[in-house]
């Protein structure tokens, strides 16, 4: 990890010296402990020393690009496999230009969950939680960056094992009432903090349907109905766009298994449209399945 940090810092220093970039996006350590990480924007060569890549650099740094999308800065960015898929998504959505980016790819060895580490570290609960790789990293199918200008570190192999959609298939087998019960139990705990929206790379709308007050499309009450509407609408928008970075599920303060919704859509889009999954390859001008309009669409659902 230290090696990779050094390599990222060297790459960033070189880019700043050559004047190729104005900002460099990576991770930093915010506090005393190594699990207190966050995304970091280095704005000058002096900032480069703050860049840290350790086993808790789990934050999807591609999300930070959204804050810089309206500017003119040339951006250097360090990405893991999932982050690079996020970049492909943003490029496909024309949120940012490829010319503005210099991408340093990191084949990701898998990250640990900072929250688990924080829980193990302090508080009243001294019972240790097993400190393995984060769930999203155990289900990872693309640890190597799909788009990069420079690669640091050795290539990794996918960690996902067994049937990816096992859970989804189990849910599909249930009856409608059982499924409703399951989702009612799960989604009624939602506190509508919108963390899953904020952290999502695919959520790149400037005006969000859930912020609109006039007209108010979705109720803001934390009732089961409004929660279900929120999650239905939010995750239906992710169809064909979710890059499976698993950040929504990781940041959820009440632990809703949101990837069950996303993976169902990934499965359905894969079955209905085929083709590569969201963000798995970048072809200039290519569009994800549900962003294309063709007059000869079969429309056979009508």
Partner 1 sequence: MQYIGLEPERYQTSWISGAEGIKFQETMAKLVSDVKKLGPNRKLRDAQ
Residue 213 is a binding residue for partner 1 (CB under 8 A): no
The 3-class SS string of 123-156 reads CCCCCCCCCCECHHHHCCCCCCCCCCCEECCCCC
The pair of structure tokens assigned to 44 is: 């000058």
Q: Are 203 and 262 in contact (CB under 8 A)?
A: no
Residue 178 is a binding residue for partner 1 (CB under 8 A): yes
**According to CB under 8 A, which one of 41, 115, 232, 286 is a site residue for partner 1?**
232
* 3-state DSSP assignment of residue 237: helix
Given the rule CB under 8 A, which of 45-53, 78-86, 169-177, 201-209 is the region that contacts partner 1? 169-177
Strands 101-105, 150-151: pairing is parallel
Residue 218 is a binding residue for partner 1 (CB under 8 A): no
Report how far Cα 197 is from the mean position of its chain's Cα atoms: 10
**According to CB under 8 A, which one of 24, 183, 243, 249 is a site residue for partner 1?**
183
Nearer to partner 1, 225 or 281 (CB): 225
Residue 217 is a binding residue for partner 1 (CB under 8 A): no
Residue 133 is a binding residue for partner 1 (CB under 8 A): no
Instruction: State the Cα–Cα distance between residues 159 and 139, nearest whole angstrom.
Output: 6
| Minimum CB distance to partner 1, residue 232 (Å) | 7
**According to CB under 8 A, which one of 20, 67, 181, 220 is a site residue for partner 1?**
181
Instruction: State the Cα–Cα distance between residues 187 and 264, nearest whole angstrom.
Output: 16
Interaction site with partner 1 (CB under 8 A): 171-172, 176-184, 187, 219, 221, 223-226, 228-229, 231-232, 261, 264, 299, 301-302
């Amino acid at each position: 990890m230290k090696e990779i940090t050094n390599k990222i810092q060297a790459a960033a220093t070189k880019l700043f010296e050559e004047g190729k970039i104005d900002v460099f996006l990576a991770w930093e350590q915010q506090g005393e402990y190594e699990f207190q990480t966050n995304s970091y924007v280095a704005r000058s060569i002096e900032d480069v020393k703050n860049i840290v890549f350790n086993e808790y650099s789990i934050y999807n740094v591609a999300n930070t690009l959204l804050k810089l999308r309206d500017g003119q800065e040339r951006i250097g960015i360090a990405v893991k496999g999932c982050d690079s898929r996020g970049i492909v998504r943003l490029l496909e959505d024309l949120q940012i230009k490829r010319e503005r980016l210099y991408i340093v790819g990191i084949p990701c060895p898998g990250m640990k969950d900072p929250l688990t580490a924080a829980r193990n570290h302090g508080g009243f609960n001294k019972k240790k939680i097993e400190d393995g790789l984060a769930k999203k990293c155990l289900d990872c199918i693309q640890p190597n960056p799909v788009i990069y200008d420079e690669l640091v570190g050795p290539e990794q192999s996918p960690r996902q094992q067994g049937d990816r959609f096992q859970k989804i298939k189990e849910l599909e087998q249930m009856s409608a009432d059982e499924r409703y019960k399951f989702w009612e139990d799960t989604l009624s705990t939602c506190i509508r903090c919108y963390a899953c929206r904020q952290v999502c790379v695919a959520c790149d709308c400037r005006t969000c349907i859930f912020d609109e007050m006039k007209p108010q499309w979705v109720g803001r009450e934390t009732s089961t109905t409004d929660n279900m509407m929120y999650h239905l609408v939010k995750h239906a928008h992710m169809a064909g766009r979710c890059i499976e970075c698993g950040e929504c599920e990781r940041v959820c303060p009440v632990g809703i298994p949101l990837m069950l919704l996303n993976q169902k859509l990934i499965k359905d889009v894969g079955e209905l449209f085929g083709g590569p999954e969201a963000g798995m390859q970048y072809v200039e001008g290519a569009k994800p399945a549900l962003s294309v309009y063709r007059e000869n669409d079969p429309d056979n659902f009508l």
